[in-house]
Structures are given as structure tokens and as C-alpha cells.
Amino acid sequence: MRPLLLTRLSICLYSANSSIFPSESLAASSVTQRKEEYSRMANAKTVMFQGTSSNVGKSVLAAAFCRIFYQDGYKVAPFKAQNMALNSFVTRDGLEMGRAQVVQAQAAGVEPDVIMNPILLKPTGHASSQVVVLGKAIGNLSAQEYHLRYNLTALQIVQDAFAKLNSENEIVVIEGAGSPAEVNLKDRDIVNMRVAKLAEAPVFLVADIDRGGALASIVGTLELLYPDERPYIKGIIINKFRGDLKLLQPALDFLEAKTGIPVLGVVPYYTEFSIPEEDSVVLEEHKSIPIPVAGQLDIAVLAIPRIANFTDFDPFAAEPDVNLRYVRTAEELGRPDLIILPGSKNTSEDLQYLWTTGLAEAVQKLAGSGIPIMGICGGYQMLGRRIHDPEQTESTRGSVPGLGLLPLETTFFAEKVTKQVQGRVCGHGFCLDDCPDEDLQGYEIHMGLTVLDEGLSPALVLQTEGQGHLDGAVAGNVMGTYLHGIYDNDRFRHHLLSWLWQRNGQEQRPVAAAYSVSAARERDFNQLADLVRSNLDMNKVRKIMGLVE
């Protein structure tokens, strides 16, 4: 990857006051001064979730607290200073932010805003990421470049974003990242303890007991905190517990005696509802079952290494007559009812992965036999003849052969498209014939321009701010589109499932038409809030936060 060149133009482009990247020494030393500034304008009470590691459930617990306080009548907003994730979202004003904070904003009943996640890192390789600042991509940086040269210079952005939320809300629910005890990163941290100090936020330390070693990870994390950091830890939460709580009680008593910090409660492992997860690490839990499940449609998503926005497929996972699985090898693929190529943060490299693993040939063969194939965003680009990257925006490969299932080619450019859109079906073939005539809602978030061969039918007409354009392509049993969130549109999804059932010689199953994404999301948020309320000492939580005397 080429290093990011921070030109004066790029600095000014994302600055509210042309000085968002102060010198490192200024950024590091200004926390106390700015904290005093913010305290004069602050309205909000705060609480922060930090974890003993990644994937312990911080994002979901933050969403739970956002919904709890929303139910209690507070004006509440989420905040995460720096997020590393490939699941992202485009706001109403065309800016990009982490999906986890979008979920938390929805739980809080507010419109997502990039100040809830001012810095977003989107990994492009094993040691590099695209850096998104206040919703705009500013380039790619290696891990070393980011941590040693850049992140502290972005501290003022974090401070100002928090200050705005702090002055406009009654409660701000803050999420940390990874662990606060990563000693190699602590001095340059802008998401964990530095934020806790800035916000004067009580911190609840979260541990995942399902993975084992929870007690050791809690004690070890506390031991590795600096002396001035440990007093911020005001409570411990045990998450994802399965079993008899009575058998766990001696361990909880030990923790409180050992650490002097109260255990606020134990949250059970739940399966009755679903909250969108932050990143693709959770896909490791999804096992591919190539054997068809009786009475269910078999939908296979290709689990490419840099899969992005896999939450696009959550509506299928919630459908009772759909078996959604993530496929990593040609052997796992089998003969599903629908194959989906998902979005990717590095389309060229993931396309090469498909060729290397034999998945590319397997998909080509199944497409030739009539199996429906659908590509979303990067997956749509992969369906074409070739992908060109002359400026090495994503990869050093330059040009990579596509699957050749649609007569089109894509060329990458540095500019990134991010916008919310509405759309309608305009193509023919695939499931689009007789598709419900209604607006589709979603968003575009991609790099690259795709050019269709003459005569190839586009799939959709998309519109934003009064400007319309053709999107995607369709040819027989193959369809591609740039529209993220297309499956969240209930009538389109139900029509697609009905079409798949009819291909199997069956009429649309009644249960398929009953599921609503928005209704299920509200139900799941409320169930999550109920679960957390009933398993944490919320009176103690409120006292710690200063909500009650």
C-alpha cells in the first residue's frame, strides 16, 4: 500500500476550523485544558464500556444501555472515538461511520451521526487500513504509520466530537476498543482510558465468560492499568454466561474481594433474538452445512477474507424458512438455492482468493447450471470480466480477472462514493420480473466505476437528492448491484424468496411474508434491554453514573 500523503488540502478538507491535526505534543497535552473547557458546557452523564479483549460484547451492551435510557425517557447518544471494522454505514448526509454506532443510535432512537464515531479504520490488508475521518476517507495507512505518526494528531477531532454530543444529550454511552491493557498501544491510545479521562466517565469492565479465562482476564487487565487509570473502573460485568449462576457465585465473590470493584451482574448468553455484530470475527462461529435443511431455502454467502458489511444478510438469517450459511471452500458450497458474493474492502485481493481456493470455478459452474447468483457492491464488481486498479487504490495487482458472469468491467479511482439512495427496479431477469413497484431504500459505499457492455440491462434506478442514475446489471440468473441494504426492504426480500421457492416447484411459503426488518429490530432492542435490566444491578449503575443520589 502507498503511504498516505497528508497534504494541506486534505487537512483543511476535513477541518471545521482548519486545525484538526495539531502537532502531536499539542494533541497529547491538551486533554486537561479541553476537559475544563467541556465541563463548562457539559450536560450529559456518561458511562463507558471497556473490555478484557475484543469481541466480549461491548458493542451490544452499549446498545442495551442506549435502549434502556431511551426507554427511561433520556436523550441519549452513543460514542466510540475510534472504531476498526469493515461493517460501515452511510448517514443521511453521505458520510461513513461504523455500523456498531449506527445500531447503538437506533437503539437510542436517534439519527446516526459521524460524530458518534469520528475515526473509522477499515482494514485493507494484514497491516494496513483505510482511514475515515468524520465520515470521509482520507487514504490508506500501515498500522505503524497510523499508530506512530497519525492517531494522536487526530485527538482534537475526538475531543470536539465528544464535546458536541456531551452538550446536546443527557447521557452519552461510550464504547472502548479491544482492551485498555494493551501496553504497546497505551501511550498512543485515543479510544480507551484517554477518552474515559476526557469524559470523566465511570468505566464498566466487560469479560466474556463463554470463551474461558474470564477471571484471569479481569484481574490481569486491572493489574496492567496505570495507577491513575484503575480508579476509573467502577464496575465489572460478566457477559455471555451459560449455566447455573449459583455455581458461579464463589467466583464473583472472589473477584470483588480481590479487586475491590463491584460485580454489577452476569448477562446470560442469548439466542432468542439478534443484535447486529460489529465485525467479521463473529462469522467464525457460523458453520457451513452443505447438506440442505428440509423445509428451508439454502442461501450461501462467500466468506471472503475481507468481507465488508456482512450485516446486509442479517434479514435472511432471521427468516424462519431460510438456512443462511457462510462458505469458505468449494467443497462447502454444494448446490444452494442462491449464492451471494458480498462486499469487500479489498475486492482485487478477495477476487484472487476466489480463484486460488477454487470457489471462482465452482460459482461459474453453478451459474452455468442455472443457480441464481447475486453480487452486492464488491461482489457485483467480481461478477464482471475484469477489475482494473491503475492507481493501486486497493491493491498492487493492477488488473484482476473477474468471474465473467456479467459483461462489464470496473475501474478503481481514489474517490469514494458514499450516499443514501432510493431506488426502483428497472431490469428484467433474475427475480426482477413482476417485482413490487415501490421505493427501495439503501446506501452506496464503494470505490470504482462499473461500465456495462451495450445491451446489458441495468438492475435498478437509484436516486439521491433529486439526481438519478442506473445501477447494477442483470442477465438471466445473475444480478449485481451497488445497493447495500437491499435485503432490508421487506417486499423485495419476500419477492426474492418467493421466486426461489417457485424455482423449487413450490408456492411462496406463508411465513416468508410475515417478517419485517424494522419491527424485528425494535423487538430485539427491547428484548435486549429487558435482559440486561433483569441481570444487572441498575440501581447501582445509576448511582455510579450520578443519575440518582
CA nearest neighbour of 315 among 304, 303, 324 = 324
- Three-state SS string over 36-83 comes to HHHHHHCCCEEEEEEECCCCCCHHHHHHHHHHHHHHCCCCEEEECCEE
Q: CB count, 10 Å around CB of 457?
A: 17
- Distance CA(350)–CA(412), nearest Å, equals 15
Place of cell 498500522: 143
CA nearest neighbour of 486 among 407, 549, 402, 430 = 430
What is the enclosing helix (H) or strand (E) of 326?
A: strand 322-327
The answer to whether residue 377 is catalytic is yes
* Catalytic pick among 66, 435, 446, 484: 484
Residues 6+ apart with CB under 8 A from 215: 207, 251, 254, 255
The answer to whether residue 446 is catalytic is no
Length of the chain: 549
* Diameter over CA atoms, the chain: 73
Strand ranges of the sheet holding 119-125, from the earlier edge strand across to the other edge: 82-84, 119-125, 128-133, 136-142
Place of cell 465452482: 362
CA nearest neighbour of 484 among 382, 388, 405, 378 = 378
- Distance CA(499)–CA(517), nearest Å, equals 19
* Burial of residue 21, with CB atoms counted within 10 A of its CB: 0-12 exposed, 13-18 middle, 19 or more buried: buried
Three-state SS for 305?
coil
* Catalytic pick among 66, 377, 431, 435: 377
What is the enclosing helix (H) or strand (E) of 299?
A: strand 297-302
Write out the catalytic residue numbers.
377, 484
